[in-house]
Amino acid sequence: MNIEEYRGIWVFLEHKDGAIVPVSLELLGAGRRLADKRGVPLSGILIGDGVKGLAAEAIAYGAETVYVYDDPIFHHYRTESYMRAVIACVEKYKPEIFLYGATSTGKDLASAVATDLATGLTADTTMLDVDAETGLLEASRPAFGGNIMATILCKKDRPQMATVRPKVVKALERDPERTGEVIEEPVELREEDIRTKVLDIVRHTVKKVRLDEADIIVAGGKGLGGRVGFEMIGEFAKRIGASVGGSRDAVEAGWIEHSRQVGQTGVTVTPKIYFAIGISGAIQHLVGMQNSGLIIAINKDSNAAIFQACHYGIVGDAFEIVPMLTEAFDQALREEVKHG
């Protein structure tokens, strides 16, 4: 492998329901920064069925070139089909750095591609940088369950690949005036060669709240002691129109379901307001919410780490404070109704 031959920053453009997913747009933003530092072009790779039109979006968000693989065989994401397109593209155009969103699809795809290309892949990256001279991608991520941060390098193999967590880098401003090239690539795959078939896709019918889209989150931890505690903060959340989340301890104790887990092995959230109630503030949890706009912590233990990570903290009994806060909101609501 001649490293010199590999040039350019690529982003895998994941799409859903006719739009490019936010993390891919974010990666174009990060990719732009890396590309400028290295003085190389930024490209996107778009694979799907009837997705050509999305290439323009990618360009509006910073891609200079978009390689398109458009074919009914790519209608649903499948490892075996997408992987072949990606590998063909990489072998043809040789990027030096290739970024994917750390989504279920992105991680699945990148793992398979990295093995076939025998190259390095860093998972769940939260910080990206590149050395302008050596071209080494510095992909940093929490490791050991979030207890440490590690920077991973891929020195001798190309492309250097990384899956990147949503919401850790920012997309550029959308600029429809931006121009770029759309290159449609030939697809030589046959359906018979793909060994899996998507029989059905079942979306949750009750539109489950997307914690990562909520403006306000009220999260509870071990300090709440049980389901009763969660009912209490649930009441509060209802009053203020917030979504409820939980720490890993609370999820593992069965007080709240896994889809609401905030943290390293759960969801990363960036709400405008985040209430951490009865949560100690272990690193694994902080990693999932520390970029929230306003963080309020309530905990009985004055030494809890959460107080180092919040904007405002109350050392007190949640079972006392939260109902009082709920009542304050109730009262305000009553005032408004009275005078409204």
Residue type, 41: P
Q: Among residues 175 and 231, whose Cβ is nearest to another protein? A: 231
The string of DSSP codes covering 1-31 is --GGG---EEEEE-EETTEE-HHHHHHHHHH
What is the signed CA dihedral for 111, 146, 10, 50, rounded to 10 degrees?
70
* Cβ pair 145, 284 in contact under 8 A: yes
* Cβ pair 18, 49 in contact under 8 A: no
Q: Interaction with another protein in 150-179: which residues (CB under 8 A)?
A: 150-157
Query: How far apart (Å, rounded) are the C-alpha atoms in residues 111 and 178?
Result: 32
β-pairing verdict for 243-246 and 137-143: unpaired
Supply the minimum distance, in Å, between the C-beta of residue 212 and another protein.
Answer: 9
Check residue 334 for interaction with another protein (CB under 8 A): no
Q: Among residues 170 and 258, whose Cβ is nearest to another protein? A: 258
Dihedral sign computed on CA atoms, order 188, 191, 194, 197: positive
Check residue 278 for interaction with another protein (CB under 8 A): no
* Binds another protein (CB under 8 A): choice among 7, 107, 178, 300: 107
Nearest CA to 135 among 245, 227, 39, 48?
Answer: 39
Check residue 129 for interaction with another protein (CB under 8 A): no
* Binds another protein (CB under 8 A): choice among 3, 235, 253, 300: 235
Check residue 121 for interaction with another protein (CB under 8 A): yes
* Binds another protein (CB under 8 A): choice among 13, 25, 99, 123: 123
Residue 79: enclosing H or E segment and its boundaries? Answer: helix 79-93
Stretch that binds another protein, among 3-11, 67-75, 181-189, 318-326 (CB under 8 A): 318-326
Query: How far apart (Å, rounded) are the C-alpha atoms in residues 132 and 65?
Result: 21
* Cβ pair 107, 10 in contact under 8 A: no
Query: How far apart (Å, rounded) are the C-alpha atoms in residues 310 and 178?
Result: 40
Supply the minimum distance, in Å, between the C-beta of residue 138 and another protein.
Answer: 7
Q: Interaction with another protein in 12-71: which residues (CB under 8 A)?
A: none
Q: Interaction with another protein in 180-199: which residues (CB under 8 A)?
A: 195-199
Q: Among residues 52 and 319, whose Cβ is nearest to another protein? A: 319
Q: Among residues 176 and 324, whose Cβ is nearest to another protein? A: 324
Q: Among residues 53 and 226, whose Cβ is nearest to another protein? A: 226
Query: How far apart (Å, rounded) are the C-alpha atoms in residues 2 and 281?
Result: 46
Stretch that binds another protein, among 4-12, 59-67, 118-126, 171-179 (CB under 8 A): 118-126
Q: Among residues 80 and 188, whose Cβ is nearest to another protein? A: 80
Stretch that binds another protein, among 61-69, 90-98, 133-141, 175-183 (CB under 8 A): 133-141
* Binds another protein (CB under 8 A): choice among 45, 54, 219, 287: 287
Q: Among residues 127 and 182, whose Cβ is nearest to another protein? A: 127
Stretch that binds another protein, among 29-37, 44-52, 67-75, 256-264 (CB under 8 A): 256-264
User: What are the b/e assignments for 198-217, b being 16+ CB within 10 Å?
Assistant: eeeeeeeeeeeeebbebebb
Supply the minimum distance, in Å, between the C-beta of residue 142 and another protein.
Answer: 7
Residue 77 neighbours by CB distance under 10 Å: 20
Q: Interaction with another protein in 65-104: which residues (CB under 8 A)?
A: 76, 79-80, 103-104
